[in-house]
Amino acid sequence: MTISQIHKQLTGKEVSCKEMVRGFLDEIKKKDKDIHAYLEVDEEGAMKQAEEVDAKIEKGEEIAELTGVPIAVKDNILTKGFNCTAGSKILENYKAPYDATCIQKLRGAGAIFMGKTNLDEFAMGSSTENSAFGPTKNPHNEERVPGGSSGGSAAAVGAGMCVAGLGSDTGGSIRQPAAFCGVVGFKPTYGAVSRYGLIAMASSLDQIGPLANSVEDARIIFDAIRGKDGFDATSLDINPKSEARNSKQIQNIKIGIPKEYFGEGIDPEIKKSIEKAIKKYEENGAKIEEISLPHTDYGLAVYYIIMPSEVSANLARYDGIRYGLSKDADNLLDTYIKTRHNGFGAEVRRRIMLGTHTLSSGYYDAYYLKAQKVRTLIKREYEKAFSKIDVIMTPTTPTLPFEFGEKTKDPVSMYLSDIFTVGVNLAGLPAATIPCDWIEKEGKKLPVGLHIIGPQKSDYKVLEVAEMFKN
């Protein structure tokens, strides 16, 4: 069900909110022992919220579009009443002391929080295999990963265990799992959604956004959570009116196809599906233009220097004193070491070490500073491209959902999953992924995601272009 369908059914009294929420809870009970999308489900709280919605409707009060809509929240977004583990042992028993700004906004709109969803530890990964609490499975083939790091939210939406979900995207963590689970994912312009209450991974790249069953639903949620926030100095307002264009203009948009995204390493079947999807836009009046983003090759390298640098700084706060796990030791230094050694998984430790190295004196200039310079070049290259075209289209991922264990032994092969998504974070751009095709593998259909990228603050335009796609 979509948000507008739910709204219609609730206001038309075709179904009570309690019945509807019960239906989703039943679905979770039935499916989630296998899929493991949720780390925590709040049955009682959800039913209580539903009861309040029913009472409102009974009294004839007007309800907002999101009122009564069951939402799943990635477990790195603080939501009062729930734990917030970030998928890590170090925060296993950490209770959210307050609501993140996006949660506060959704709560105000009457959304119902079903539970908290699984993720790679501190959002570091592309498969949820790095979660300290066990992986999530892909609802379309349980032998395969759901993507990551927002794999729990993507699987929950894909399996019908909620209507929409929230995720965070630092290098692709909304879009890649959305593509793997056959749902819509949207990463807004950097700052469009406040990061207040999001457990920080890499602050100059992190962005919260929706995962949903339709582009319309993603837009409704984005509308509700976006906006400038006094608690996040990098947050900004996006004017929906000035950016969105009418449908006739949208039909005649110019789409840039960067040739660097269709070369080596891409699954030929994905390439075919994406070309087919772009052709559909062309048939509807869009103009297609080949473009070049020559620094694409450096995106991953730049990301894997800047991101760990910020990770090493952000994760210094988990010291056994202030948050979560604390291991007793003879002195303070040993407390830090023991807590961090026991609390953090291998991938998190790897990135803290890498980041500490790239920020250390003598290496800072050679790595971090240089990466920042290339980051600027990447950003400029996009800006130049957008002076001639409206949006860029690429595949969201180079491969179909892969099998468990396939990439865990070689971190670099896992990092390559983000090759098409990280550039967007480095440049702070908005980008959506929509399921554009299904490919059969071992008798089961797996989804392909079409990636639509726009210039900064063109969030509504990106969503409009995404909405035009009819499968």
Would you tell me which residues interact with ligand GLN (CB under 6 A)? 123-126, 149, 168-173, 201, 307, 418
Give me 174's structure tokens. Answer: 């909304």
Query: Least distance in Å: CB of 119 to ligand GLN?
Result: 8
Closest to ligand GLN by CB, 123 vs 155, is 123
Are 265 and 232 in contact, with CB atoms under 8 Å apart? no
Query: Least distance in Å: CB of 303 to ligand GLN?
Result: 7
Closest to ligand GLN by CB, 298 vs 469, is 298
Known catalytic residues are 74, 149, 173
Query: Least distance in Å: CB of 417 to ligand GLN?
Result: 6
Count of other CB atoms within 10 angstroms of residue 79:
27
Closest to ligand GLN by CB, 207 vs 458, is 207
CA distance 267 to 260: 14
Query: Least distance in Å: CB of 190 to ligand GLN?
Result: 13
- Single out the residue of 449, 222, 220, 215 nearest to residue 207, CA to CA: 222
Closest to ligand GLN by CB, 202 vs 277, is 202
Give one DSSP letter per residue of 282-331, joined into a string. Answer: HHTT-EEEEE--TTHHHHHHHHHHHHHHHHHHHGGG-SSSSSS-----SS
| First and final C-alpha spacing in the chain | 18
Closest to ligand GLN by CB, 232 vs 467, is 232
Query: Least distance in Å: CB of 111 to ligand GLN?
Result: 23
CA Rg, the chain, in Å?
21
Give me 177's structure tokens. Answer: 């799992």
Closest to ligand GLN by CB, 207 vs 214, is 207
Cis-peptide, bond into residue 149, ω within 30° of zero: yes
Q: Which residues contact 375 (CB under 8 A, 6 or more apart)?
A: 302, 306, 426, 427
Q: Which residue is at the shortest CB distance from ligand GLN?
A: 173
Query: Least distance in Å: CB of 124 to ligand GLN?
Result: 5
**112 DSSP β-pair partners:** 70
Closest to ligand GLN by CB, 104 vs 170, is 170
Give one DSSP letter per residue of 83-133, joined into a string. Answer: B--TT-GGGTTPBP-S--HHHHHHHHTT-EEEEEE--SGGG--SSSTT-TT
Query: Least distance in Å: CB of 281 to ligand GLN?
Result: 27
Category of 77 on φ-ψ map: left (φ > 0), alpha (ψ -120 to 50) or beta: beta
Count of other CB atoms within 10 angstroms of residue 446:
21
Are 377 and 157 in contact, with CB atoms under 8 Å apart? no
Are 85 and 96 in contact, with CB atoms under 8 Å apart? no
Fill in the DSSP letter of residue 261.
G
Give me 37's structure tokens. Answer: 């999308």
Give me 456's structure tokens. Answer: 């900064």
Query: Least distance in Å: CB of 23 to ligand GLN?
Result: 31
Closest to ligand GLN by CB, 37 vs 291, is 37
- Alpha carbon separation from 157 to 38, 146, 267 (Å, rounded): 11, 11, 25
CA distance 165 to 316: 29
